[in-house]
Chain A
Amino acid sequence: MIEIFKNSIRKALQTRPLSIKEIPVSKEYEMLGAELKKAIKKRFSRSFHIREVDTGSCGACESEIIAATNPIYDIQRFGVDFVASPRHADALLVTGPVSKNMELALKRTYDAMPGPKLVITLGDCALDGGKFKNSYYTLSGVKNVLPVSAHIHGCPPKPIDIVKAILILLGKTK
């Protein structure tokens, strides 16, 4: 019982000094983030909402997207948020080489989004199929199914790459 009270008080009153805090988030990341925040404020009035769809990735890309939302990178503070419904989304973030089983689901998710809509691909598989290019069961990349606005390179891309790519994309959109 004492443990519980101690815990609650600590959670409410004090942010415990973390040993993990020593991971340096690079200055570059912070600078890019500030720029991203400005760009999002200008074009999307503060919030840029993304719906993510996995079309057959190995899971490393998802893991990095989740890492971008952890308290260290915390991409939400720049105005990027991941939403549960395509109806709330400004952009569709697609990972994986598009397996045949996912083609219909991907198209339907895209159709459910309100316009104007952006499609961002993430990871080498999503660009042209990557290692799964000539498989009998993939469509070799998202561009064969949907019009793609931007691509984030890497296998998997790091959180900083995600921020960079979104920044470049927003620079292009008016």
Chain B
Amino acid sequence: MNYIKIFDDIEEKYNLKPLSLRIEEKEPDEIYARVGAGDFKPMCLAMHKYLHSPVMSFFAVDERKEKGVFGLLCAFQSIEFKKWVFITTEVPKDNAEFESLSKDIYSAALFEREIYEMFGIVPKNSPDTRRLKLHEEVWPQGNFPLRKDFDSKKIKDSPKSEHKLKEVEGDGVFEVAVGPVHAGLIAPGHFRFSVAGEPVINLEIHLGFTHRGVEKIFENLSLNEAVSLSECVSGDSAFAHSWAFCNSIEKILKINVPENIQYVRAVLLELERMYNHVNDIGGIAVDVGFSFPSAFASLMKESILDLNEKLTESRYLKNVNAIGGVLCDFNDDKKQVLIQNLEMLQKDLNELKKMILSNVSFMDRADSTGILRKNIAEDLGVLGPAGRASGIDKDLRKDFHGIYDKVKFNSIHCLSGDVSARLKIRFDEFEESIKIVKQFLDMIKPFESKKEQLPKIKEGYALGCAEGWRGPVLYWVKIDAEGHIVRCKIVDPSFRNWEGLAFAMPGNIVPDFPLCNKSFDFSYSGNDL
């Protein structure tokens, strides 16, 4: 019970009324603290300062039918106590507004804009209320899709406006617009560079082109359908997403997943991390025109995808996770294949390292390009490899996940925050992943795949998490008594990290943009949902 100390300290330090504070311990690692609407902002600020945590998730729930109010929940992480701290409040349905957090906590800014465009709850005094995903050119005003009474057939038409991008004015400043359709084989997004001479002064990133309304589709799905939808949120982190989703449902229904199964999940998650990291290393190489290591890296990626198929019959680890278990079997043959492949991958990685790190002209491009400073990254709430390259040593595997306590691995972080730091993070994490998989393999006992029976369904809510290769993937899911999903809030690491790219670009030249972009490598579809 020592985590109650958090609230005692806050009461002492910030003098916040304890009467409006209620702690309910629903889940072993989640604390929900309810406060009055007036105390919401000061409480969030206090928690943000006290826990040194960015806003991990901030969202609304439509409870107008049951209670006549919108619920607001803001999540922080307490690494010291291994707890998720939720500050919750209620806003009346007629006068739906709350005091904006984003002036004081920058990492809340994007979440606030999302709450406004999806629910129509106004963040008062907010510096930025532009839309994120429902573009002004396409979507009429006054239609809020995540409200329960929203009907897509009855969309009110109204005059559409233009999305305003920030303008930089001055002598010799001109703009370069890129996208949404790019030259390469990548997803759509719009980038607007303000350039004076060579260096970039400002970069505006306008996303939302791949918005498909995922959170709305989740509502009213049955649990098994929802698992397969979560795999399609971001295709290259299908396993992390489905694990996070299953994790939240398992917490709600109090299903104990056998440790053996969790080890298998961890192995597959590491494989996903490996193929993506090596893909990025190749991508960084090709963006400076160094195609030989890129071809080599794509061979390595292919060999891991092939390995995935041998283990689970799916190259991208889709249709593998299920609530309470996994749908693939595991035997000694597979173990053998894995061990052999790991050894080969280690050899190939050493080779790739030599090729890239010993090339002076390549490292010249990568060193001190696209620097993201630690204090900026902290304010933005950048996490995952991008954050670790800037010196933010946070990792859910080490900070939260129970099973990762059983293996030894180093948490990698650099301080320089440039492209070469992010490159080195990827190399080192790849190596750590090999170590982790080897240790888990020793512990896994062979088993046959079987479909788990769900226990009796009851209503509830919980937060599921997994450290995907881009960073923490969070699913806050609320289900009703029949097992239908009432609200599913997804936070892909890309959503919190994209701004990092915009802050890393100024001062660099436009030709370095692909390099910076690839070194971060965020998901468009995970961000846009």
Bound CA–CA A59/B214 (angstroms)? 15
Across the interface, B209 reaches (CB within 8 A) one of A58, A105, A125, A158, namely A105
The B-contacting residues of A in range 1-51, CB under 8 angstroms, are 3-4, 7, 11, 16, 18-20, 23
Judge whether A7 and B217 touch: CB under 8 Å: no
Bound CA–CA A60/B317 (angstroms)? 11
Interface size class of A (residues with CB under 8 A): 35 or more
1/0 per residue, CB under 8 A from A, across B351-383: the answer is 100110011100000000000000000000000
Judge whether A56 and B235 touch: CB under 8 Å: no
Judge whether A59 and B525 touch: CB under 8 Å: yes
Bound CA–CA A11/B236 (angstroms)? 31
* Cβ distance B162 to chain A, nearest Cβ, rounded Å: 13
**Known contacts being A23-B303, A131-B232, is A53 close to B181, with CB within 8 Å?**
yes
**Known contacts being A3-B358, A4-B360, A20-B344, is A137 close to B295, with CB within 8 Å?**
no
Bound CA–CA A20/B278 (angstroms)? 14
Judge whether B187 and A54 touch: CB under 8 Å: yes
Judge whether A102 and B354 touch: CB under 8 Å: no
Interface residues in chain A, defined as those with a beta carbon under 8 Å from any beta carbon in chain B: 3-4, 7, 11, 16, 18-20, 23, 52-67, 70-72, 82, 84-85, 96-97, 99-103, 105, 109, 125, 130-132, 134-138, 155-156, 158
**Known contacts being A67-B302, A84-B183, A101-B138, is A58 close to B234, with CB within 8 Å?**
yes
Across the interface, A59 reaches (CB within 8 A) one of B135, B305, B355, B523, namely B523
Judge whether B213 and A70 touch: CB under 8 Å: no
Judge whether A65 and B185 touch: CB under 8 Å: yes
Between-chain CB contacts (< 8 Å), 15 pairs: A3-B354, A7-B354, A54-B187, A54-B524, A55-B188, A56-B528, A59-B187, A61-B235, A62-B185, A67-B298, A70-B298, A96-B210, A101-B138, A130-B232, A138-B212
Bound CA–CA A23/B306 (angstroms)? 8
Q: Given A7-B358, A156-B235, list of 19 further CB < 8 A pairs? A: A7-B355, A20-B344, A53-B181, A56-B210, A58-B232, A59-B236, A63-B316, A70-B295, A84-B183, A100-B138, A101-B133, A101-B138, A101-B180, A105-B209, A125-B232, A131-B217, A131-B232, A132-B212, A136-B150
Across the interface, B303 reaches (CB within 8 A) one of A7, A20, A105, namely A20
* Cβ distance A141 to chain B, nearest Cβ, rounded Å: 12
Judge whether A132 and B525 touch: CB under 8 Å: no
Judge whether A60 and B134 touch: CB under 8 Å: no
Across the interface, A84 reaches (CB within 8 A) one of B134, B135, B184, B355, namely B184
Bound CA–CA A102/B348 (angstroms)? 40
1/0 per residue, CB under 8 A from A, across B167-210: the answer is 00000000000001101111110000000000000000000111
Judge whether B180 and A105 touch: CB under 8 Å: yes
Q: Which residues of A sit under 8 angstroms from B145, Cβ to Cβ?
A: 136-137
Q: Which residues of B sit under 8 angstroms from A19, Cβ to Cβ?
A: 344, 347-348
**Known contacts being A54-B187, A59-B525, is A71 close to B217, with CB within 8 Å?**
no
Across the interface, A57 reaches (CB within 8 A) one of B187, B214, B305, B344, namely B187
Interface residues in chain B, defined as those with a beta carbon under 8 Å from any beta carbon in chain A: 133-135, 138-139, 145, 150, 152, 155, 180-181, 183-188, 208-214, 216-217, 228-229, 232-236, 238, 279, 292, 295-296, 298-303, 305-306, 315-316, 318, 344, 347-348, 351, 354-355, 358-360, 523-525, 528
Bound CA–CA A13/B173 (angstroms)? 48
Judge whether A54 and B188 touch: CB under 8 Å: yes
Question: For B186, B188, B212, B295, which residue has the most chain A Cβ atoms within 10 angstroms?
Answer: B212
* Cβ distance B510 to chain A, nearest Cβ, rounded Å: 16
* Cβ distance B504 to chain A, nearest Cβ, rounded Å: 22
Judge whether A101 and B135 touch: CB under 8 Å: yes
**Known contacts being A53-B181, A70-B298, A156-B235, is A138 close to B135, with CB within 8 Å?**
no
Q: Which residues of B sit under 8 angstroms from A53, Cβ to Cβ?
A: 181, 188
* Cβ distance B355 to chain A, nearest Cβ, rounded Å: 6
Across the interface, A4 reaches (CB within 8 A) one of B183, B187, B210, B358, namely B358
Question: For B150, B155, B279, B315, which residue has the most chain A Cβ atoms within 10 angstroms?
Answer: B315
User: Who on chain B is nearest to A73 by CB?
Assistant: B302
User: Who on chain B is nearest to A66 by CB?
Assistant: B185
Bound CA–CA A18/B298 (angstroms)? 13
Q: Which residues of B sit under 8 angstroms from A62, Cβ to Cβ?
A: 185-187, 235
Across the interface, A132 reaches (CB within 8 A) one of B188, B213, B299, B315, namely B213
Judge whether A60 and B211 touch: CB under 8 Å: no
Judge whether A7 and B302 touch: CB under 8 Å: no
**Known contacts being A7-B358, A23-B302, is A63 close to B187, with CB within 8 Å?**
no
Bound CA–CA A136/B134 (angstroms)? 11
Judge whether B298 and A82 touch: CB under 8 Å: no
Judge whether B316 and A97 touch: CB under 8 Å: no
**Known contacts being A56-B525, A59-B523, A72-B299, is A137 close to B186, with CB within 8 Å?**
no
* Cβ distance A137 to chain B, nearest Cβ, rounded Å: 4
Bound CA–CA A56/B229 (angstroms)? 14
Judge whether B209 and A101 touch: CB under 8 Å: yes
Bound CA–CA A159/B296 (angstroms)? 18
User: Who on chain A is nearest to B356 by CB?
Assistant: A7
* Cβ distance B314 to chain A, nearest Cβ, rounded Å: 10
Judge whether A52 and B185 touch: CB under 8 Å: yes
User: Who on chain A is nearest to B344 by CB?
Assistant: A19
Across the interface, B235 reaches (CB within 8 A) one of A11, A63, A70, A105, namely A63
Q: Which residues of A sit under 8 angstroms from B524, Cβ to Cβ?
A: 54, 59
Q: Which residues of A sit under 8 angstroms from B358, Cβ to Cβ?
A: 3-4, 7
Q: Which residues of A sit under 8 angstroms from B300, Cβ to Cβ?
A: 20
Bound CA–CA A134/B184 (angstroms)? 30
Judge whether A20 and B348 touch: CB under 8 Å: yes
Q: Which residues of A sit under 8 angstroms from B155, Cβ to Cβ?
A: 136
User: Who on chain A is nearest to B180 by CB?
Assistant: A105
Judge whether B150 and A63 touch: CB under 8 Å: no
Bound CA–CA A38/B97 (angstroms)? 65
Judge whether A137 and B213 touch: CB under 8 Å: yes
Judge whether A138 and B213 touch: CB under 8 Å: yes
Bound CA–CA A17/B229 (angstroms)? 41
**Known contacts being A19-B347, A62-B185, A136-B145, is A56 close to B316, with CB within 8 Å?**
no
